[in-house]
Structures are given as structure tokens and as C-alpha cells.
Chains A and B, each alone.
Chain A
Amino acid sequence: MTKTLEKIQTTAKKLFTNIKLKEKAEMESPVRSLNNVIYNKKDGFFELKGMMKKRTLTANTVKTFAQTLKMMALSKDLINSEDIATKREAYYVSKNWGEARFKEQPESDAVMDDIEATFACNREQLGFIADEHGGSVAGELTVIDKDSTTKKEIKIDCTKFGSGSYSIPSDVEHLKFETKAKFVLAIETQGMFERLNKHQYWKKANCIIISMSGVPSRSCRRFIRKLSDEANLPVHVFTDGDPYGMMNIYRTLKVGSGNAAHINEFFCVPKANFLGITPRDITEYKLPTHPLKEVDIKRAKDALKNDPFVKDYKEWQNALKEMIQMKVRAEQQALAKHGLNFVISDYLPEKMKNEKSWLP
């Protein structure tokens, strides 16, 4: 029996006994928010502070209680049968639960997150996988995977995809790597990844390039983390020059999120650093800009006020303040102003050389 299964059954047994003895029935899980995390500088990720929310079975919680238990039962089945269900599939399974079914997927996702947090495990261990895009990889890397039927090793050379790329699977736990690359370049947009891949930037710079397509999925984060740990590689992150790229994408990749603090330990990439676009780049490269939107300013201000990571780094406070002052943002693609391949010929090499231009 897996550890997770054991945890599920212990919790269920306890509830069962309580109810049988006519005692109060409760379930406990950590509060999932930025308020409940601290930045652990030593290990480089967000850690839970320990605020717990207790959900007692009452008329108000009876529906969520029923749904949580049904979801736990589903998880038990998945683990026992060594099967998986995507979040979307789990949502559709619930349609069979009569009145206890979920109306929208966000409801089932939230219940799933709560279960994850309750048992301090990740959702893959519960048999649930994400249906979001895992991320694309190209460059100096050989991924060692296993054939699911024959259990034989498969070596995948990421330089051999031509104009395509290797797609990160939803479960990356069993993967091994062989590489001689000097660093990993994690890129916000698929478009920028395509440009760098097309011109084989990875060959020129001897690196691995990975597209995150926005906020990286958990498996993408875990993949980069394993790569950085096992091959001992630095990770440079290349996003748009806006609060979303800096906070939602970079910060989540590096130290994790408040929402998933219980698993940050495994999913963050403490060795990551921010390559660009920085507010300074906007000035120095005279990049074309767009005005900051109301939400951008709010996000930056929130980060300055509430984000334990930003609070720990003067450099980030300065950068965000500078951006709020400049009132502008710039996309990765703004570099195209100086020529389509300016990013390869000038920007990236210059940035790589000048460590001082990075943000922690």
C-alpha cells in the first residue's frame, strides 16, 4: 500500500469512528494563500507557516464534505488500479454522483487541491494529473524514459526534433537525464521558443531551451527542478517585462506559490534567476512599450506589500518600483524592433555575459 493510500484510509477511518460515536466530524488542511507562507531563503522556496483551516461537518459544509469524501474514494480507486485521471476527467466522473456532482471544473479542482494539501502530497500521487500543457524542450539534452509496456529504457535526444520539440510528460518523476549543456533557458512564450529553436540558439550557446507557455505547469516546474538538481545546471528565466512575467511566472517557478505551498518543496527551482526583460532593459535597449494597465499596477503593488519573496530581495523591490514609476511594460518580442534575430545575436549573449544585469 502506498503512503498516500494509507493517509487517505486513516483519515476516512477516523471520520467513520467519530460519526459512529456521535462525535464531531472534522477535516483539517493548511490554509492555501500567500499569508500562510514564508520564504525559506536557505532552501529557496515558500514554506507553510502552519495556519490550518478546520472544516467541521455542518449544514453549511455538508456538500463539500460529501464531495471531498467522494473524491478521496475516487483517488483510492485510481491508486489501487494504478490508473490516472486528468482533472477534467475527475470532474466528469463526479457527474455520476447525483446531487454531490460538481457544476464547474473549478469546484472539483479546488476540492482536489484541498485533498492534496490535507495529505501533503502532490496530485500525481493521488492519481490525478493536470491536463495543462507540460512545456516544450529542445537542445543539448538526452531524456531517459521508460516504455510503459516493456519497461525498457528509451533515450530521447532533444537535438533531434528538427523544427519540433520534446514535450514534457505529465509525470516526470521517473525521468533521468544526460547532458553537457551549460545552462537551461526557460522562456515565457512559445513564439520566442520557436525563434530560438529555429535558429538553433541552443547549439550556439550550448544550452537547453524550455518553453513554459505562461505560468509553468507543475510537471514543467518539476522537470526543470530535476534537471537543475541532477545535472547541476543554472536556470535563466526569460519573460516579458511586466508584473505578470516577473511575479506569476518567474516567482512561481523559483519559489513556488501560496496556493500550492504544501508541495513547493518539490516543484520550485531555487537555482533560477531572472534574465529579462527587466525595467532597466526597457530603458537601455530603448524597447517599444505599452502603458501598464490598472491590474498590472495592482499586481506590482500587491507583490511589494504581501509577497514574502519580494520582501526578501531589495533588487526586486527596486525593479518593481521602477516599473510602477515608468508606467510601462515591454514584451519579449519588443526586441524585434532592432531586427528579428537581435535577441540571438545581441540581447541574450550580452545578458549572459553581464551577471549584474540579472535579478535574483
Chain B
Amino acid sequence: MTDTKLEDYSETEEENKSKEVKELIEPKKTNNQSKAHEMAKSQREISIAEFFEKNRHLLGFDNKRKALLTTIKEAVDNSLDACEEADILPEITVEIHEIGTDKFRVIVEDNGPGIVKAQIPKIFAKLLYGSKFHKLKMQRGQQGIGISAAVMYAQLTTGKPAKIISKIHPNEPAHYYELKIDTATNKPDIIKDVKKEWYKENGTRIEIDLEASYNKGSQSVDEYIRETAVINPHVTLIYQPPKGEQLMLVRATEEKPKQAQEIKPHPYGVELGMLIKMLQRTETKTVKQFLKEDFSRVGDKAAEEILENSKLLSKTKTKDMSRDMAEQLMNGIKKTKLMMPPTDCIVPLGETMLEKGIKKEINAEFYTSVSRPPSVYRGNPFAIEVAIAYGGDQPADKSINVMRFANRVPLLYQQGACATQESITQTNWKSYGIQQTGSNMPVGPITIVIHIASVWVPFTSEAKEAIAHYPEIIKEMKLAIQEAGRNLAKYVKKKKRVKEELKKRSYIETYIPHIAEALKELTNCSATDEEIIKENLTELLEQQRGKVDSLDFDPTKNEEYNEEFAKIGREKEHDSNSEFSEENADEEDEK
């Protein structure tokens, strides 16, 4: 979680901005100078913190209910990423305490590697600070806004600082901080800074007081906790909701997910501005070296080819590259055929784990899962995974239930705006035996899980709620849904056949007595003979049929199913009309 270089980057950006501002403040004198001067007085730099303070919905703080979820989500995401990077099996405690009307205290504590003292204030009390933005690696956090945004929201709504304690080694003391953000400058405002004894060997704990509201239902913290456990089977979560008992969601596997490899950007995924910036910062001397070392999938031959296609000499120095030359290089890249980026940088969950996860919380008759091989959009590798649970306890007359995940993080809001939605509705579910009118959401007893794993998930906003509609991503999603759909169709059709077969068998039972009776009337045979006829017919006809598999739903068959677990977040918000309240939440969401 530490990267000093990054600080320089963001500072440079700010310096650049202030230069521009200076130019505005000191214009050349003209006839209109007094007016321009007057205007200039009200013009000033906007800090990123100030911007997001005003536009908090962009970060997922549009309402009280969502604020609680976003705060917890950001803290847990950070903990999980840190644990995985440090190769630690995560054990995370999430506590929510009601401390007043619409006021809550959120505590998230992990057993992660901890954070070195100097970094703590920046990570928690400075927006756009962190190691993640510039790393092409599959991880939950991306921008370095998340947790600091939560701290900012907390101080805005309660005026209280965030309390952080972190310890990096059993032999070193823990550091305790109370932090706020100076939004005008986007710099940490340190309220308290002390050494402290802490029982943990290592880890981080954050305590935030904020204005929020706690609700149950489909977009609740409960749901988030449960889905997090589904998609991260190696995590132990200890969850204390505001009212009610503490829940312990014990990890389902000791196996840690494979470490995702960090990759260099692929030339296809880079835009001109980015290329120029990379040229300015590179440590390489020549453009050829630059191409080979700062990008993935560019070898000696490929670099030569790019330079040739760019009409640039291979000895060109990186420091001599002008904007026009960078554009030439850009066009050269487009003309060159390159290998797709390596895909070991993404670690999908895998079909078995995905299925195990969904089995834990949905008691269905049939499960299937598909893990697609990695693919690429804009030079970024990604992989799509889909699991379907069919039948069982699920209602048959409602739209199917969708669970969306991106890099192992549940997405609870903005389903309608998400690429997953488009992929699902554009699939022809009728061919899998599932009801669907036009390109609406299909209707049936189905839960579909969609997971995108990528070095850079293209969210539609910083709140990371929905996945952008890249054609390559939608195509992969559809392929995964179709593959799972075909498996599903086999089961649905088999079930239909069995149902028909059982109907035929009941037919046999219904009509045999009539045949026996008619034969008795026609042949004047005895009542004993009539009975023999009945028996023989039953035997004859059932012989023809053979055995049928029983496809009746057996609720005890799924051994992975955990009823307690499945209930989390599923309790009705208001007993009478939970659907109504969910709709309300969506409406709030829109605002």
C-alpha cells in the first residue's frame, strides 16, 4: 500500500494546474482589464477533495443508506487487497454500531501487513493517493479515492476524525492516528499521532463515525457481506450488525488465490496523452528500449516493426520525442500486429470455487459454472466467469436474480446500467427453456452470478457500481452466459421429459381399469380375469417405459448449503412489502 513515487506524480499534476491558474490570474493588460481583474478575483484552483466534496454521488455517497455500504466496502476492499498482496489469509472484522439518530460508527479491522507510519495520513486523508492507480494488476481498489472519500464524508456529516491504528510487525509499536482531510488543499489534517500498544501482531483498524442509515434488503451491507464471502471463499468475516448477533462467516478454503502478476501496459491500450507522459518519465534512453521495457509483448522484432511503421529511426532518443513524433509512434503501433497481453495477471475464481460459493447460499436443484479463457479490451486483459443456480427454493414467477462481481467485489447498485444487464437481456433465454419476453430480463427460478476479473475494470463511475459497455466485454459475457445456458438447457429439458414421462405413467394407471372393464364386457370374462388383465397390462406397459431419474427437488441434497448464511441480508426490510422498499432504494439511487 505504499508507493512514494506516486506522491510526486500527483504533486506534479497540481503544480501543472497551478501554472495554468497563474496564467489566468496575470493576464496581459487590455481595455477590459478592470473587468478581467474583477473576474480573476473569484477564480481559484479547485482541489480534488473540494470537487468530490461537492460531487459525493460520484463516489457512492449519494444517500445515507449507500454511504454506509460504500464506507464498509472501501475499507474491506483495502483490507483484502493488502492481505492478498502480503500473502496472508484474510480475517476481517466489520462492526456497525448505532451511536445516534442516523449516526453510525463503522469499525473495520484486518490481520493484514499494516501500513508504515509515514503513509498512514496520506492513504486515509488524501484523495487520489495510493499504489493502485498506476499498477496494471488485478486488484479490488483501483483509483486511490475510496477510503479517503469515506473519511471525508464522515467529517462532513459528523465532524469527527477517522481513527486509525496500524501495526506492521510484532516487535514494533502500533501507530494511532486521528485524521481529517483539509479539503481546500487535499492534504491530511493530523489531529492526533501517538504510539500505542495493540494486541495484534500486525494489521490495521479503522473507525469512522458517519451519518448513515442501516437497512436490510438487496442493496444492504448484509447483502454485501454475504456476497463478499461467496466470491472470496478464502476469507473469514466476522460481522457485527447494528442490532442482532455477531455472525462469523468462516472461510470455505485455506487455499489463497494465486497472486496476480503486475503487467506493463500493452501498446494497444495506450492513448496519446498517456504515451507522452510515459515518454517523459521513462528511464530508458532510446525509443526502441522504451518500447521493449515499458510495455508488455514488445520484443526486439516488434519494436523494430513499430518504429518502421512509425517512420522513426530506431536510435531516436526518448528525450527528443516531440508531440508529433509521439503521434507518429501511436499510428505505428496501430499498424503493427502485436501479441495480446499476457493473461497470468488475472486470477479468475475458477468454476469449482464459483459453484461452491453459490451453493453455500442458494439451495437449488442444479448448478453450472463457466470460466472463460482471458480476453482483451483496450489492451487490458480480462476474464469472465458465470455460474447459474436453477430451481429449488427460488421463485419461478419473478425476474431472475443477478449477482454481479468485479475483481471479487460485489456490485449492488446500478444493475440496469451495467454491461452484465445488457449481456443477460440480449441472450435468447427461450432456447434454454426459460421464459423471456422480447429482450427483457428472463423470468424463472434462477440466480446468475457474473464475475469479471481484470487488471483494470472499466467502471461507469468512481463509485464502482456498474461495468462499462465495452463490446469485447459484452461479447465475452454473452459467450459465458450462453455456455452456462446450454448446460442449463440440458437440465431443463431433461426435467421436462421426466415430467412428461411421469404424466404418461399416470396415464397408464388411469386408463388400464377402463381397458380391463371393456374387455370384461366384450368377452364376458370373470372378475378374476379382469384383475389379471389389469395386473398384466400394468406390468407390460411399465416394462416399456424403463426407469426414470427422480428430478424432484430435494432440499437436503445440497450439503454446501448454509441456511444461516443464506439468510444474511435476505430478511425483509418491512415484512409486508419488501419489494416496494427495494424500489425505493433504487429511486434514491437515481437521485
Residues of A within 8 A of B (CB): 8-9, 12-13, 15-16, 19-20, 22, 24-25, 57-60, 62-63, 65-67, 69-70, 72-73, 76, 97-100
- Tell me if B544 and A69 are in contact (CB < 8 A): no
Closest 10 CB pairs of A and B: A69-B518, A12-B522, A66-B514, A73-B521, A100-B514, A59-B504, A66-B511, A62-B511, A70-B518, A99-B510
List 18 interface pairs A-B (beta carbons < 8 Å), by A numbering.
Answer: A12-B522, A12-B523, A16-B522, A16-B525, A16-B533, A19-B519, A20-B532, A20-B536, A59-B545, A60-B504, A62-B515, A62-B541, A65-B511, A69-B514, A69-B515, A69-B522, A76-B522, A99-B514
- Tell me if A69 and B507 are in contact (CB < 8 A): no
User: How far does the alpha carbon of A262 sit from the alpha carbon of B399 in the complex, in Å?
Assistant: 57
Contacts of B539 in A (CB 8 A): 22
Q: Does B529 contact A (CB under 8 A)?
A: yes
- Tell me if B522 and A57 are in contact (CB < 8 A): no
Contacts of A13 in B (CB 8 A): 522-523
User: How far does the alpha carbon of A62 sit from the alpha carbon of B511 in the complex, in Å?
Assistant: 6
Q: Does B396 contact A (CB under 8 A)?
A: no
- Tell me if B541 and A19 are in contact (CB < 8 A): no
Known: A22-B540, A58-B541, A59-B541. 12 other contacts (CB 8 A): A16-B529, A16-B533, A58-B544, A59-B507, A59-B545, A65-B511, A66-B518, A67-B514, A69-B518, A72-B518, A73-B521, A76-B522
Contacts of B116 in A (CB 8 A): none
- Tell me if B545 and A16 are in contact (CB < 8 A): no
Contacts of A66 in B (CB 8 A): 511-512, 514-515, 518
Q: Does B537 contact A (CB under 8 A)?
A: yes
User: How far does the alpha carbon of A20 sit from the alpha carbon of B536 in the complex, in Å?
Assistant: 7
- Tell me if A9 and B518 are in contact (CB < 8 A): no
Number of A-B contacts (CB under 8 A): 83
The residue of chain A having its C-beta at the shortest distance from the C-beta of B545 within the complex is A59
Total B residues in contact with A, Cβ cutoff 8 Å: 26
- Tell me if B523 and A59 are in contact (CB < 8 A): no
User: How far does the alpha carbon of A67 sit from the alpha carbon of B511 in the complex, in Å?
Assistant: 9
- Tell me if A19 and B544 are in contact (CB < 8 A): no
Contacts of B335 in A (CB 8 A): none
User: How far does the alpha carbon of A25 sit from the alpha carbon of B518 in the complex, in Å?
Assistant: 14
User: How far does the alpha carbon of A301 sit from the alpha carbon of B305 in the complex, in Å?
Assistant: 71
User: How far does the alpha carbon of A60 sit from the alpha carbon of B505 in the complex, in Å?
Assistant: 10
With A59-B508, A76-B521, A99-B510 as given contacts, are A22 and B515 in contact (CB-CB < 8 Å)? no
The residue of chain A having its C-beta at the shortest distance from the C-beta of B506 within the complex is A59
The residue of chain A having its C-beta at the shortest distance from the C-beta of B543 within the complex is A22
The residue of chain A having its C-beta at the shortest distance from the C-beta of B501 within the complex is A59
Contacts of B517 in A (CB 8 A): 70
- Tell me if A62 and B519 are in contact (CB < 8 A): no
- Tell me if A59 and B505 are in contact (CB < 8 A): yes
Contacts of B537 in A (CB 8 A): 19, 25, 57
User: How far does the alpha carbon of A8 sit from the alpha carbon of B545 in the complex, in Å?
Assistant: 30
User: How far does the alpha carbon of A143 sit from the alpha carbon of B518 in the complex, in Å?
Assistant: 41
Contacts of A8 in B (CB 8 A): 522
The residue of chain A having its C-beta at the shortest distance from the C-beta of B541 within the complex is A59
A234 to chain B, nearest CB (A): 45
Contacts of A60 in B (CB 8 A): 504
Contacts of B519 in A (CB 8 A): 12, 15-16, 19, 69
B176 to chain A, nearest CB (A): 78
- Tell me if A20 and B515 are in contact (CB < 8 A): no
User: How far does the alpha carbon of A59 sit from the alpha carbon of B538 in the complex, in Å?
Assistant: 10
A134 to chain B, nearest CB (A): 31
B564 to chain A, nearest CB (A): 45
User: How far does the alpha carbon of A60 sit from the alpha carbon of B94 in the complex, in Å?
Assistant: 62
Contacts of A100 in B (CB 8 A): 511, 514
Query: C-beta contact mask, B482-507 vs A, less than 8 Å → 1, else 0?
Result: 00000000000000000000001101
User: How far does the alpha carbon of A243 sit from the alpha carbon of B198 in the complex, in Å?
Assistant: 102
Contacts of B540 in A (CB 8 A): 19, 22, 24-25, 57
B508 to chain A, nearest CB (A): 5
With A19-B533, A19-B537, A20-B536 as given contacts, are A62 and B522 in contact (CB-CB < 8 Å)? no
Contacts of A15 in B (CB 8 A): 519
B25 to chain A, nearest CB (A): 85
User: How far does the alpha carbon of A270 sit from the alpha carbon of B73 in the complex, in Å?
Assistant: 92
Contacts of B518 in A (CB 8 A): 66, 69-70, 72-73
- Tell me if A63 and B507 are in contact (CB < 8 A): yes
Contacts of B532 in A (CB 8 A): 20
Contacts of B545 in A (CB 8 A): 59
- Tell me if B512 and A62 are in contact (CB < 8 A): yes
User: How far does the alpha carbon of A59 sit from the alpha carbon of B544 in the complex, in Å?
Assistant: 8
- The one of A19, A67, A72 in contact with B522, judged by C-beta atoms closer than 8 angstroms, is A72
B541 to chain A, nearest CB (A): 6
User: How far does the alpha carbon of A346 sit from the alpha carbon of B116 in the complex, in Å?
Assistant: 120
A9 to chain B, nearest CB (A): 6
Contacts of A76 in B (CB 8 A): 521-522
User: How far does the alpha carbon of A63 sit from the alpha carbon of B515 in the complex, in Å?
Assistant: 9
User: How far does the alpha carbon of A20 sit from the alpha carbon of B531 in the complex, in Å?
Assistant: 10
User: How far does the alpha carbon of A63 sit from the alpha carbon of B508 in the complex, in Å?
Assistant: 8
User: How far does the alpha carbon of A67 sit from the alpha carbon of B508 in the complex, in Å?
Assistant: 13
- Tell me if B522 and A73 are in contact (CB < 8 A): yes
Contacts of B525 in A (CB 8 A): 16
The residue of chain A having its C-beta at the shortest distance from the C-beta of B542 within the complex is A59
Contacts of A63 in B (CB 8 A): 507, 510-511
The residue of chain B having its C-beta at the shortest distance from the C-beta of A73 within the complex is B521
- The one of A20, A62, A65 in contact with B529, judged by C-beta atoms closer than 8 angstroms, is A20
User: How far does the alpha carbon of A97 sit from the alpha carbon of B521 in the complex, in Å?
Assistant: 13
B537 to chain A, nearest CB (A): 6
User: How far does the alpha carbon of A97 sit from the alpha carbon of B510 in the complex, in Å?
Assistant: 12
A25 to chain B, nearest CB (A): 8
A139 to chain B, nearest CB (A): 46
The residue of chain A having its C-beta at the shortest distance from the C-beta of B503 within the complex is A59
B506 to chain A, nearest CB (A): 10
User: How far does the alpha carbon of A208 sit from the alpha carbon of B222 in the complex, in Å?
Assistant: 94
A22 to chain B, nearest CB (A): 5
Contacts of A65 in B (CB 8 A): 511, 515
Contacts of A72 in B (CB 8 A): 518, 522
User: How far does the alpha carbon of A8 sit from the alpha carbon of B518 in the complex, in Å?
Assistant: 12
The residue of chain A having its C-beta at the shortest distance from the C-beta of B512 within the complex is A62
A90 to chain B, nearest CB (A): 14
B536 to chain A, nearest CB (A): 5
User: How far does the alpha carbon of A58 sit from the alpha carbon of B512 in the complex, in Å?
Assistant: 11
User: How far does the alpha carbon of A68 sit from the alpha carbon of B40 in the complex, in Å?
Assistant: 101
The residue of chain B having its C-beta at the shortest distance from the C-beta of A60 within the complex is B504
B498 to chain A, nearest CB (A): 14
Contacts of B544 in A (CB 8 A): 58-59
Contacts of B515 in A (CB 8 A): 57, 62, 65-66, 69
- Tell me if A62 and B508 are in contact (CB < 8 A): yes
A165 to chain B, nearest CB (A): 42
With A20-B533, A59-B504, A62-B541 as given contacts, are A98 and B522 in contact (CB-CB < 8 Å)? no
User: How far does the alpha carbon of A20 sit from the alpha carbon of B512 in the complex, in Å?
Assistant: 14
- Tell me if A57 and B541 are in contact (CB < 8 A): yes
User: How far does the alpha carbon of A25 sit from the alpha carbon of B529 in the complex, in Å?
Assistant: 16
- Tell me if A62 and B521 are in contact (CB < 8 A): no
- The one of B511, B514, B521, B536 in contact with A19, judged by C-beta atoms closer than 8 angstroms, is B536
B521 to chain A, nearest CB (A): 4
A83 to chain B, nearest CB (A): 16
B353 to chain A, nearest CB (A): 44
Contacts of A19 in B (CB 8 A): 519, 533, 536-537, 540
Contacts of B507 in A (CB 8 A): 59, 62-63
A100 to chain B, nearest CB (A): 4
User: How far does the alpha carbon of A22 sit from the alpha carbon of B545 in the complex, in Å?
Assistant: 16
Contacts of A20 in B (CB 8 A): 529, 532-533, 536
The residue of chain A having its C-beta at the shortest distance from the C-beta of B530 within the complex is A16
> Which of A16, A58, A60 is most buried by chain B, counting CB atoms within 10 A of its CB?
A16
The residue of chain A having its C-beta at the shortest distance from the C-beta of B534 within the complex is A19
CB-contacts of B532-562 with A (<8 A): 532-533, 536-537, 539-541, 544-545
User: How far does the alpha carbon of A63 sit from the alpha carbon of B518 in the complex, in Å?
Assistant: 13
B533 to chain A, nearest CB (A): 5
